[in-house]
Structure 1
Amino acid sequence: MLVALGAALLVLSLAPPAQAAQGEVYVALGDSAAAGPLIPNQIGPHYGCWRSDRNYAHLTAQAIGARELRDATCSGAKTDDLYESQNTDLGDVPPQFDALGQDTTLVTLQIGANDLGLTDFIEDCLNLLPPPVGDACNDDYVVNGQDKWRVETDALRPRLLSVISDIRARAPQARIFVVGYATYAPPDGCYPRVPIIRADANYIRATLMYFNRMLAEQAAAAGAGFIDLQTPSADHSPCASSSQRWIEPYVPASPAAPFHPNARGMQNFATIVTGAVSSDL
């Protein structure tokens, strides 16, 4: 908790100053990293989004005394689903941007990982048997000397600028914060506790660091704030003990989806987000 509080004080916020509101109207946008799949209690009306009432948006809204929370986060969401209906296993979900309005004063946005398929990428690198029997995955993504993930991350840059611009057009009074993704692999990994070999763990780590850096850069370019979750979660990855980790491994020990935040993680992320949005007032 002290780590999270310290990180909250250091978070980079580039949003323009705003006057303190008489109760924020807070809109949370994003994918499963924000929604909290399988964390009790899962809430409707869109159960196919696997949205928890203990995700960081709900906890932050409580902490800041928000007048209203519109939590539009949805597992599996891509940037297209901000603008268009999203199909889930339990029915279609309205575009997330429908939650925005002239009365919106605060927006958090955690999106982009599904545009690239980063969760599937992590699971693709699971390796029950180390080399020479098992095969490393990191060289599978280098084509003609170019790293697939970095190419696709860079291709997403203009899309993020457009998304932030379109949020501002729909919610001109809102302070906007882009939220980064947490640490999913520490240096060298922890094989076999999490069955990803050292080279692949370092590759996953470098890929996510590059992706988070892109999010921070695009937030800055668009005049939005950026909230870093990677740094404060460094010692709380899936490799940490069950009592310390904020992100569950492939076989979770507490109610959460594999390689997603658990309840402890959401509580700490809420502390960080609360610190960031409060210090900007």
Structure 2
Amino acid sequence: MRRSRIAVLVSSLLLAVGAALTGAAPAQGAQLAATGGYVALGDSYSSGVGAGSYISSSGDCKRSTKAYPYLWNAAHAPASFSFTACSGARTGDVLSGQLGPLNSSTGLVSISIGGNDAGFADVMTTCVTSSDSTCVSRINTARAYVSSTLPGQLDSVYSAIRSKAPAARVVVIGYPRFYQLGTTCLGLSETKRSAINNASDLLNSVTAQRAAAHGFVFGDVRTTFSGHEICSGSSWLHSVNWLNIGESYHPTASGQSGGYLPVLNSAA
């Protein structure tokens, strides 16, 4: 009996050490949020642009009741919910205007950021209106920015989040691949679509690396969006939306609930 108790004690100690070494959280985000609240930061992919049902008081930030943070809040009932994600936000906007709700008791934080810093909107405009070579050239400029400049900007945001919310589980959520390849699809050429997808992969890779360096969890949505890219026949992403151009290349309501929400559920 005594030997059994010793074995249990040793096992418990080893598990604790293992958790410390791997950075595993002692409590998952839902548990932490139940007492410390949930804060949703980021850009249009977090605010819910493209999903409709925008909250009137959010103005140009276009926060949607169909966005994954709002859906997560409704399903888990955290102690508090602060939704500061905003359409068009860059890393500097997060630092200057979104971190106010964070505090020492905050339990869960989610964020998607970096796409606007890399010039996502200009990349897509160039690729829709220009030749293959011009599109690829603009993408290469964005790739260089993502590799050389964006890591430092992400570090600044992540450091500020950790400083203001030292106890929070932080989930950094990435971006989907935009196009299904190898299919007949009106619009952009295969060359353009492939280059856009590869640039998205690079953005996700850099973001995941910087998130890990800060002890944050990276939520990869490329798997959940697989089969639901533009040109798939069951797209969870808007293509060019001429009636509301700002919603172009953003997740639909189905993309938020089926592509983003499950990733936050798993990562939190």
Please report how far the alpha carbon of residue 227 of structure 1 lies from its aligned counterpart in structure 2 after TM superposition: 0.1
Q: Confirm or deny that 1:259 pairs with 2:249.
A: yes
Higher Rg of the two aligned structures: 2
Contact 2:51/2:64, CA 8 A, preserved across alignment: yes
Structure 2 unaligned segments of length 5 or more: list them: 1-21
Q: Which residue of 1 aligns with 2:6?
A: none
Please report how far the alpha carbon of residue 100 of structure 1 lies from its aligned counterpart in structure 2 after TM superposition: 1.2
Please report how far the alpha carbon of residue 181 of structure 1 lies from its aligned counterpart in structure 2 after TM superposition: 0.5
- In structure 2, relative to structure 1, the CA distance for the partners of 1:99 and 1:237 (3 Å cut) is same
Structure 1 unaligned segments of length 5 or more: list them: 1-13, 85-94, 129-133
- The CA distance in 2 between the partners of 1:188 and 1:55, in whole Å, is 30
Contact 2:52/2:66, CA 8 A, preserved across alignment: yes
- The CA distance in 2 between the partners of 1:189 and 1:252, in whole Å, is 23
Q: Which residue of 2 aligns with 1:100?
A: 102
Q: Which residue of 2 aligns with 1:49?
A: 61
State the TM-score, normalizing by the size of structure 1.
0.78
Q: Which residue of 1 aligns with 2:118?
A: 116
The alignment partner of 1:219 has SS state of helix
- In structure 2, relative to structure 1, the CA distance for the partners of 1:26 and 1:274 (3 Å cut) is same
State the TM-score, normalizing by the size of structure 2.
0.82
Please report how far the alpha carbon of residue 53 of structure 1 lies from its aligned counterpart in structure 2 after TM superposition: 1.1
2:204 aligned residue (209, 212, 224) = 212
Please report how far the alpha carbon of residue 177 of structure 1 lies from its aligned counterpart in structure 2 after TM superposition: 1.0
Which one-letter code corresponds to 1:126 in the other structure?
A: V
Which one-letter code corresponds to 2:142 in the other structure?
A: W
Which one-letter code corresponds to 2:251 in the other structure?
A: P
- The CA distance in 1 between the partners of 2:197 and 2:120, in whole Å, is 11
Q: Which residue of 2 aligns with 1:150?
A: 143
Please report how far the alpha carbon of residue 254 of structure 1 lies from its aligned counterpart in structure 2 after TM superposition: 11
Which one-letter code corresponds to 1:174 in the other structure?
A: A
- The CA distance in 2 between the partners of 1:15 and 1:64, in whole Å, is 24
- In structure 2, relative to structure 1, the CA distance for the partners of 1:252 and 1:35 (3 Å cut) is farther
Q: Which residue of 2 aligns with 1:3?
A: none
Moved more, 266-275 or 202-211: 266-275
Contact 1:15/1:175, CA 8 A, preserved across alignment: no
Which one-letter code corresponds to 1:60 in the other structure?
A: W
- The CA distance in 2 between the partners of 1:165 and 1:186, in whole Å, is 35
- In structure 2, relative to structure 1, the CA distance for the partners of 1:255 and 1:199 (3 Å cut) is closer
- In structure 2, relative to structure 1, the CA distance for the partners of 1:169 and 1:135 (3 Å cut) is closer
Which one-letter code corresponds to 2:127 in the other structure?
A: C
Q: Which residue of 2 aligns with 1:140?
A: 137
Please report how far the alpha carbon of residue 45 of structure 1 lies from its aligned counterpart in structure 2 after TM superposition: 2.5
- In structure 2, relative to structure 1, the CA distance for the partners of 1:18 and 1:139 (3 Å cut) is same
Please report how far the alpha carbon of residue 139 of structure 1 lies from its aligned counterpart in structure 2 after TM superposition: 4.0
Please report how far the alpha carbon of residue 245 of structure 1 lies from its aligned counterpart in structure 2 after TM superposition: 1.6
**CA shift digits 1:16-37 (9 cap, x unpaired):** 4133334451100111111112
Please report how far the alpha carbon of residue 141 of structure 1 lies from its aligned counterpart in structure 2 after TM superposition: 3.1
- In structure 2, relative to structure 1, the CA distance for the partners of 1:46 and 1:148 (3 Å cut) is same
- In structure 2, relative to structure 1, the CA distance for the partners of 1:218 and 1:135 (3 Å cut) is closer
Q: Which residue of 1 aligns with 2:74?
A: 62
Q: Which residue of 2 aligns with 1:223?
A: 215
Q: Aligned residue pairs: how many?
A: 241
- The CA distance in 2 between the partners of 1:259 and 1:156, in whole Å, is 21
Contact 1:27/1:104, CA 8 A, preserved across alignment: yes
- In structure 2, relative to structure 1, the CA distance for the partners of 1:209 and 1:189 (3 Å cut) is farther
Q: Which residue of 1 aligns with 2:238?
A: 248
- The CA distance in 2 between the partners of 1:35 and 1:189, in whole Å, is 31
More helix by share: 2
Q: Which has the higher contact order (CA 8 A, sep 6+)?
A: 1
- The CA distance in 2 between the partners of 1:15 and 1:191, in whole Å, is 44
- In structure 2, relative to structure 1, the CA distance for the partners of 1:179 and 1:199 (3 Å cut) is same
- The CA distance in 1 between the partners of 2:124 and 2:184, in whole Å, is 14
Q: Which residue of 1 aligns with 2:8?
A: none
Contact 1:136/1:197, CA 8 A, preserved across alignment: no
Question: What does 1:13-28 correspond to in 2, within 5 Å?
Answer: 16-19=24-27, 20-21=31-32, 22-28=34-40
Contact 1:188/1:202, CA 8 A, preserved across alignment: no
